[in-house]
């Protein structure tokens, strides 16, 4: 009886983590509680043994002090030990650093080994792997493996993966000095070999190595040349290579984001021509690819600088240069004048002065590989008469009452507009292009004017008519 108080006094000095153990669990953090005393391992009775007692045991063994991870297992859950039964009625308040600081009945018990208590210090024990994940490629990643049981037991660590790991894989920490993107999503296993009992517990983590895009893929090559209003063979898309985290792929038109990974809907208008940017990015990086779009289209007009018909007077200048010009075209249009099928090698139709021979119809032809457009210009050149032809020469001498050799006519040369040709007898217009009807009387002698005119000008030719009197029978000329 005297021994007991002495022992209770002595034990705090003697008992240590090495003097208690958990036996026959499946991991080091659980098992039947045994106490080493007097060179002998003995058990503890489960009477009154609760979580507060268990937490002191776990604290001694340097396991987690998290009460929610600690459990008491009664009735020899981890099997029955052998004598002695060292402790009974343990009543810790939970804050003691040693089991022996707790009130208890040392050596004196009313138990059998069917009441041997067990403790689990780490419910659902697992390997934890911590590290600076996610990590950006080309930087350093350190992983550390930990099994709480290893605070009190000898553990060795080893790392494996489906990819070869360089360096020493038999350390608790694993460092990648320059982690490459091909490690992303790889699974790394940490094997913890605990010695008592000999068990290997495996934990794993999935690598999260972040990297930006290394390209921005456009579905067509640049420059892309298309013809207006025709369809594309395929959608023109901007897409992303593998990225972590996932990249966004966007088209930009200048600084305006196009809310579609497909650039165009068909048909394509000429206004879609330009440069577009396929922009692929995530938080780590960005990549852009430029797509130049050329939209070809033909002319929608052929512009002539004057309206048709153009009426000008010969030998005067046209009001302005008469040009054939092109609207916007892609590729650039050629604008040419045609005179019939002859191309005039100038966009300016005439050089002044304009001769009457320039009258006619001209075609302003505007074309490129896509199409053409024509506009017709009718040119009218007005000019007056250059003569007033009379069918006989002046003076005309005839004998009274005889016919003139031919009809005596006043006629017009070419004129534009047509000339009027008129005989005048003094200021009296003779309403006939033929001057006389035969026979000619003596009273027709005199001077006549052949007058040819139009709006542009006139010409006159004088015809002097001499009528010789004929001696008739019984008549005498004086």
Ligand X SMILES: *[C@@H]1O[C@H](CO)[C@@H](O)[C@H](O)[C@H]1NC(C)=O
Q: Does 316 bind ligand X (CB under 6 A)?
A: no
Q: Does 441 bind ligand X (CB under 6 A)?
A: no
Instruction: Give least dist CB 199 to ligand X, A.
Output: 7
Are residues 141 and 130 in contact, defined by beta-carbon separation less than 8 angstroms? no
Instruction: Give least dist CB 454 to ligand X, A.
Output: 21
Are residues 20 and 64 in contact, defined by beta-carbon separation less than 8 angstroms? no
Binding track, positions 451-470, relative to ligand X; x by CB under 6 A: --------------------
Q: Does 265 bind ligand X (CB under 6 A)?
A: yes
Are residues 44 and 95 in contact, defined by beta-carbon separation less than 8 angstroms? no
Nearest to 358 by CA among 302, 318, 417: 318
Q: Which of 133, 156, 160, 248 forms a contact with ligand X (CB under 6 A)?
A: 156
Structure tokens at 370: 């896509």
Structure tokens at 311: 């009426």
Residues in 3-32 at the binding interface with ligand X, rule: CB under 6 A: 24
Nearest to 28 by CA among 202, 201, 194: 194
Residues in 338-357 at the binding interface with ligand X, rule: CB under 6 A: 345-346, 348, 351
> Measured from the CB atom, is 101 or 347 closer to ligand X?
347
Residues in 33-52 at the binding interface with ligand X, rule: CB under 6 A: none
Instruction: Give least dist CB 315 to ligand X, A.
Output: 15
Binding track, positions 60-79, relative to ligand X; x by CB under 6 A: ------x-xx--------xx
Structure tokens at 58: 């776990």
Instruction: Give least dist CB 341 to ligand X, A.
Output: 18
Q: Which range of residues in 96-104, 294-302, 326-334, 456-464 is near ligand X by CB under 6 A?
A: 294-302
Structural element, H or E, at residue 6 = helix 3-14
Q: Does 204 bind ligand X (CB under 6 A)?
A: no
d(CA 388, CA 386): 7
Q: Dihedral sign for Cα 426, 432, 435, 441, please.
A: negative
Nearest to 207 by CA among 225, 231, 183: 183
Instruction: Give least dist CB 37 to ligand X, A.
Output: 19
| Whole-number Cα distances in Å, 182 to 162, 187, 212, 281 | 12, 12, 13, 19
Q: Does 369 bind ligand X (CB under 6 A)?
A: no
Q: Which range of residues in 293-301, 359-367, 379-387, 393-401 is near ligand X by CB under 6 A?
A: 293-301
Q: Which of 101, 142, 171, 289 forms a contact with ligand X (CB under 6 A)?
A: 171
Structural element, H or E, at residue 54 = helix 51-60
Q: Does 275 bind ligand X (CB under 6 A)?
A: no
For 345-403, strand residue ranges (E) read: 360-367, 372-382, 396-399
Q: Does 123 bind ligand X (CB under 6 A)?
A: yes
> Measured from the CB atom, is 384 or 398 closer to ligand X?
398
- Whether the bond between 353 and the residue before it is cis, its omega within 30 degrees of 0, is yes
d(CA 282, CA 368): 45
Q: Does 124 bind ligand X (CB under 6 A)?
A: yes
d(CA 43, CA 112): 10
Q: Which residues bind ligand X (CB under 6 A)?
A: 24, 66, 68-69, 78-79, 123-124, 136-138, 156, 168, 170-171, 178, 180, 193, 198, 200, 211-212, 228-229, 253, 258-260, 262, 264-265, 271-272, 274, 284-285, 297-298, 300, 345-346, 348, 351, 431-432, 434, 437
């Amino acid at each position: 009886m005297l021994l007991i108080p002495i022992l209770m006094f002595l034990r705090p000095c003697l008992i240590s983590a090495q003097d208690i153990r958990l036996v026959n669990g499946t991991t080091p953090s659980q098992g039947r509680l045994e106490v080493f005393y007097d060179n002998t391992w003995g058990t503890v009775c489960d009477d009154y043994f609760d979580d507060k007692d268990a937490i002191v045991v776990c604290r001694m063994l340097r396991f987690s002090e998290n009460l929610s991870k600690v459990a008491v297992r009664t009735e020899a859950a981890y099997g029955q030990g052998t004598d002695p039964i060292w402790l009974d009625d343990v009543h810790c308040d939970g804050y003691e650093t040693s089991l022996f600081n707790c009130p208890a009945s040392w050596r004196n018990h009313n138990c059998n080994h069917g009441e041997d208590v067990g403790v689990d210090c780490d419910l659902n024990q697992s390997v934890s792997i911590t590290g600076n994940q996610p990590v950006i490629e080309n930087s350093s990643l350190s992983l550390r493996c930990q099994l709480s049981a290893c605070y009190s037991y000898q553990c060795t660590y080893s790392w494996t993966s489906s990819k070869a790991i360089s360096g020493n894989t038999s350390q608790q920490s694993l460092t990648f000095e320059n982690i490459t993107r091909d490690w992303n999503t790889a699974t790394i296993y940490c094997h913890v070999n605990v010695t008592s009992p000999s068990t290997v517990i495996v934990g794993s983590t999935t690598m999260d190595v972040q990297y930006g895009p290394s390209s921005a893929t456009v579905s067509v090559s640049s420059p892309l040349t298309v013809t207006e209003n025709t369809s594309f063979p395929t959608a023109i898309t901007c897409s992303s290579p593998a990225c972590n985290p996932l990249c966004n792929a966007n088209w930009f038109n200048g600084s305006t984001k196009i809310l579609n990974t497909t650039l165009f809907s068909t048909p394509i208008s000429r206004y879609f021509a330009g440069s577009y940017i396929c922009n692929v990015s995530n938080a780590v990086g960005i990549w852009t690819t430029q797509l130049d779009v050329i939209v070809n289209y033909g002319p929608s007009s052929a512009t002539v600088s004057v309206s048709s018909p153009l009426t000008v007077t010969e030998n005067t200048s046209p009001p302005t240069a008469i040009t054939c010009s092109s609207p916007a075209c892609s590729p650039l249009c050629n604008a040419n004048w045609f005179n019939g099928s002859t191309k005039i090698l100038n966009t300016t139709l005439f050089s002044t002065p304009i001769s009457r021979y320039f009258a006619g119809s001209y075609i302003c032809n505007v074309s490129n590989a896509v199409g053409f457009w024509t506009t017709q210009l009718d040119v009218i050149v007005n000019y007056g008469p250059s003569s007033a032809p009379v069918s006989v020469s002046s003076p005309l001498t005839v004998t009274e009452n005889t016919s003139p050799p031919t009809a005596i006519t006043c006629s017009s040369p070419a004129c534009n507009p047509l000339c009027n040709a008129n005989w005048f007898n003094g200021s009296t217009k003779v309403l006939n292009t033929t001057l006389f009807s035969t026979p000619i009387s003596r009273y027709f002698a005199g001077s006549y004017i052949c007058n040819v005119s139009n709006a542009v000008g006139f010409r006159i030719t004088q015809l002097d008519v001499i009528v010789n009197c004929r001696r008739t029978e019984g008549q005498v000329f004086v």
